[in-house]
Amino acid sequence: MSFLQNLYLEKGSKMRRILSNALFLGLGLFVSGTLSAASNDLTQVYVDAGEVGQGFLISRLNNCYLVTPEHVLGNEFYANVITGTKSREMGEAERVQTFGYDLTLSAITGAAKNECNTSINSFAPLDMLLKSSTALTVSSVNTNGSKSLTPVNMIDLGLVYLTILSSVDFPLYKGLSGSVVYSGDEPVGILQSIDAESGNGKVLRLDRAIETIRPFFASGFAIDSTNTTLKENAAEKSAFTHEIAYEFTEWNHQPLSANERLSNLHDEDVKSVWAVKPAQDTIEITLSFGKITAISGAIFQVEKSMSSSQPKDFEILSNRRSEGDRGWVSVYSGTWLNNTSELAININPVKANRLKIVFRSNWGSADRLSFSELYLR
102 occurs within a structural domain: yes
Asked if residue 196 belongs to a domain, the reply is yes
DSSP state of 18: H
Q: Are residues 208 and 72 in the same domain?
A: yes
How does pLDDT run across 187-236, given as a tens digit for each residue? Answer: 999 999 999 889 999 999 999 999 999 888 765 444 444 444 333 333 44
CATH of the domain at 372: 2.60.120.260
- 90 burial class (0-12, 13-18, 19+ CB within 10 angstroms)? buried
Distance CA 64, CA 74 (A): 21
Percent of the chain having pLDDT more than 70?
Answer: 82
Q: Is residue 236 part of a domain?
A: no
| Predicted pLDDT at 33 | 33
Could you tell me where the beta strands, DSSP code E, fall in 62-102?
63-69, 78-83, 90-99
Which are the contacts of 16, defined by CB distance < 8 A and separation ≥ 6? 8, 170
pLDDT > 60? residue 299: yes
User: Could you tell me if 80 and 148 lie in one domain?
Assistant: yes
Counting residues of the chain whose pLDDT is more than 90, the rounded percentage is 60
The mean of the pLDDT values for the chain is 83
Contact at 8 Å (CB) between 35 and 158?
Answer: no
Among candidate residues 224, 249, 261, 247, the one with its CA nearest the CA of residue 376: 247
- Residue 194 contacts residue 152 (beta carbons within 8 Å): no
Tally of CB atoms within 10 A around 140? 25
What's the rounded mean pLDDT across residues 279-292?
A: 92
Same domain? For 265 and 168 the reply is: no
Domain-located, residue 227: no
Q: Please tell me the total count of domains within the chain.
A: 2
Domain that holds residue 9: 2-218
Cα four-point dihedral sign 311, 317, 322, 324: negative
pLDDT of residue 13: 40
Assign residue 94 the CATH number of its domain: 2.40.10.120
Overall size of the chain counted in residues? 377
Return d(Cα 342, Cα 339) in angstroms, integer. Answer: 9
Indicate whether 321 and 209 sit together in one domain.
no
User: What's the pLDDT score for residue 236?
Assistant: 46
Four-CA torsion 377, 234, 98, 266, nearest 10 degrees: 10
Q: Mark whether 82 and 193 lie in a shared domain.
A: yes
Same-domain check for residues 309 and 187: no
Q: What is the pLDDT of residue 232?
A: 36
The pLDDT assigned to 180 comes to: 97
d(CA 191, CA 176): 7
CA angle 23, 24, 28 (to 5 degrees): 95
Task: Find the range with the poorest average confidence among 29-43, 99-113, 125-139, 351-365.
Answer: 29-43
Question: Is 212 in contact with 232 (CB distance < 8 Å)?
Answer: no
203 and 187 Cβ atoms separated by less than 8 Å: no
Confidence of residue 238 (pLDDT cuts 50, 70, 90): very low
pLDDT at 72 over 90: yes
Q: Are residues 137 and 177 in the same domain?
A: yes
